[in-house]
């Protein structure tokens, strides 16, 4: 995340292959939650979601989505910087 930006929260949630999109999740349901501060690099580790009735409904697991937002409501007037993710 670029230096001089506002802190960001990054949340990793399950995705649906059938719907073709992420399924938003609450804090306690997330695969990972992390706060990223300006100029900081953070490793985020999580286990990919398991299959959900994969043979019947095509939800074979392994799909996830990444959401980001400002960490604090008072930062709302500032633009959200891009968070760059690199899979290792």
CA torsion sign for 3, 29, 66, 42 is: positive
CB 33 within 8 A of CB 51: no
Q: Using one digit for the tens of pLDDT, what is the confidence trace for 12-34?
A: 999 988 888 998 898 899 999 99
Most distant pair of Cα atoms in the chain: their distance: 48
The reported pTM is 0.77
Phi–psi pair at 64, nearest 5 degrees: -145, 160
- Please determine, for residue 80, whether its predicted confidence score (pLDDT) is greater than 80: no
- Please determine, for residue 8, whether its predicted confidence score (pLDDT) is greater than 80: yes
Candidates 79, 86, 57, 88; CA nearest to 4 is 79
CB 42 within 8 A of CB 52: no
């Amino acid at each position: 995340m670029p230096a001089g930006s506002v802190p960001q929260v990054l949340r990793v949630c399950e995705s649906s292959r059938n719907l073709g999109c992420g399924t938003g999740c609450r804090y306690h349901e997330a695969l990972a939650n992390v706060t990223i501060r300006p100029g900081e690099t953070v490793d985020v580790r999580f286990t990919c979601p398991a299959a959900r009735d994969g043979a019947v409904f095509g939800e074979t697991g392994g799909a996830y989505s990444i959401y980001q937002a400002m960490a604090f409501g008072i930062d709302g007037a500032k633009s959200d910087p891009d968070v760059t993710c690199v899979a290792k």
